[in-house]
Amino acid sequence: MFNTRRRIKELLISDNVNFQTTVMGWVRTFRNNQFIALNDGSTNNNLQVVVELGSLEEATLKRITTGACIKAVGEIIPSLGKGQKVEMKATSIEILGDSDAEKFPLQPKKHSLEFLREIAHLRFRTNTFGAVFRVRHALAFAIHEFFNKKGFVYLHTPIVTASDAEGAGEMFRVTTLPLDGTAPKNDDGSINFKEDFFGRSTNLTVSGQLEGELAAMAFSDIYTFGPTFRAENSNTTRHLAEFWMIEPEMAFYDLEDNMNLAEAFIKHIIKYAMDNNREDLEFLAQRLEEEEKQKPQNERSEMGLMEKLEFVVNNDFERLTYTEAIDILKESNHNKKKKFQYPIEKWGTDLQSEHERYLVEKHFKKPVILTNYPKEIKAFYMRQNDDGTTVAAMDILAPGIGEIVGGSQREERLEKLTQRMEEMHIPTEELDWYLDTRRFGACPHAGFGLGFERIVQFVTGMGNIRDVIPFPRYPKSASF
């Protein structure tokens, strides 16, 4: 058996000393031919491994370089140096993998996030990305824990689909037909997808919601947590072409139940990370504070990261209607002074991210849930309100990010639903399976979608969504 090692995190937090053990990890630094800072990814804190002078051959010493992988056996003893409780007095060091110090791109110094994105395969070995991806893991775990405790069924919805849940474009096509012009054609010259692998035109999913609704009509409460794809050409700090989405769908829920669940859910997962990843979050808070110092005073955020998370967990989200939000925006000095790129003129316009951020960051200074949007700017499946103009939608907006959740009560009335689909030119035949839920035992139900990377951004304070997913996919980039 090879793996007899102990994790560095465990050794550092324990009060146990004076015992023999084995550690393995990657060298961060090696000082004075004596002190190895060893990291195994369990924590940002390194274990100091002390090599007794003269105990190792010169040739081995030379191979202890930044980035090299080593196995160290020795005694854990109280540390004399400051900054750590314990250290290891090594009795043997074995090089598991060499790393040419001249060529290893990560030097023990500060690298820019842009540079690290270019070497995303190595950036896990930095403190920043170590912390980010451990927090990402914790949030994913907390999500499953939250729903599991409530009795929700985790549903795996398909990644290849023939439907577009939103009725919008922006999808990646999936095909095995040749692209060299020899694909089978119909009489009118269009591609004949009957000859394609699935016998029809297919694409990567943009949402698992429609399938989720079908399962909710049997299990009552389900959630999905999987990858979704959007071929939108948005080069923003909040959009990816491949991102992960959590989509709970609940029978017997109205809009208010939906909002209550979403708010409790967000608070729970943030709290989980604060309770279980405090060290990483404090590191990220420090990083953010330094980044903020580079900004002009008036652009700096008023709260530090920990303070912000604490605040979100302990305060109610502000709830208001789209109509109320439009009034606030229209009457704002910001609007009157023409400071919005898209001025708010009339009821009915879609809110841009600048408007969402104004409401959250300037006006309310807390997360906001907007409800009852005009039906024209929302999807066909949202439940129509009695006023005939709005739908029972809800978006949750977060400081620094904008929209993190989009949800609604669903239209369960078959006639209203098909009528809306016709108005929006959505082919009812193709979604006949979806309409069956309204034919056989329909019930009031609701759900929402949370963009996983957006919440990871929020919790870690990372400004760019490309830095919270291991290998980001965005326009003109699919490396690694």
Residues within the interface to ligand ATP (CB under 6 A): 230, 232, 238-240, 243, 245, 403-406, 449-451, 453-454
Nearer to ligand ATP, 99 or 209 (CB): 209
Q: In terms of CB distance, is 74 or 402 closer to ligand ATP?
A: 402
CB 106 within 8 A of CB 66: yes
Query: Quick one: 186 or 479, whose CB is closer to ligand ATP?
Result: 479
Under a CB-based contact definition with an 8 Å cutoff, are residues 346 and 340 in contact? no
Which lies closer to ligand ATP via its Cβ, residue 239 or residue 438?
239
Matching residue, tokens 């949750």:
396
Q: How far is the CB of 451 from ligand ATP (least distance, A)?
A: 2
251 vs 220: CA distance, rounded Å? 5
Min separation Cβ 124 and ligand ATP, Å: 21
Token pair listed for 29: 């630094």
- Edge-to-edge strand list for the sheet holding 242-251: 153-154, 221-229, 242-251, 445-451, 402-409, 390-398, 368-374, 318-321
26 versus 244: smaller Cβ distance to ligand ATP: 244
**Nearest distance, CB of residue 256 and ligand ATP, angstroms:** 19
Nearer to ligand ATP, 399 or 449 (CB): 449
Cα(276)–Cα(95) distance, integer angstroms: 33
Q: How far is the CB of 473 from ligand ATP (least distance, A)?
A: 10
Q: Which of 203, 199, 173 is nearest to 184 (CA)?
A: 199
| Closest to ligand ATP by CB, 305 or 401 | 401
Nearer to ligand ATP, 56 or 255 (CB): 255
- Taking the complex as a whole, the smallest distance from the CB of residue 446 to ligand ATP amounts, in Å, to 14
Q: Quick one: 90 or 455, whose CB is closer to ligand ATP?
A: 455
Q: Of 309, 258, 237, nearest to 280 (Cα)?
A: 309
Closest approach, Cβ 233 to ligand ATP, in A, equals 10
Cα–Cα distance measured from residue 53 to residue 33, given in angstroms and rounded to the nearest whole number = 8
- The single residue listed with the structure tokens 């102990």 is 6
Nearest to 40 by CA among 86, 87, 6, 85: 6
Distance CA 17, CA 2 (A): 23
Q: Which residue number is nearest to ligand ATP in terms of Cβ? A: 451
Long-range contacts of 181-188 (CB under 8 A, 24+ apart): none
Question: Which is closer to ligand ATP, CB of 48 or CB of 209?
Answer: 209
Q: For the beta carbon of residue 13, count every other beta carbon within 10 angstroms.
A: 13
Residue 158, amino acid: P
Min separation Cβ 353 and ligand ATP, Å: 7
DSSP for 316-375, please give it. PPEEEEHHHHHHHHHHSHHHHTT-SSS---STTPPPPHHHHHIIIIIIISS-EEEEEEEG
Instruction: Specify the residue, 230 or 410, whose C-beta has the smaller distance to ligand ATP.
Output: 230
Nearest distance from C-beta of residue 213 to ligand ATP, angstroms: 15
Q: What CA–CA distances, in Å, run from 162 to 165, 171, 173, 196?
A: 10, 11, 10, 12
Who's near 71: CB < 8 A, 6+ residues apart? 5, 22, 23, 24, 93, 94, 96
Residue 43 CB, shortest distance to ligand ATP, in Å, is 29
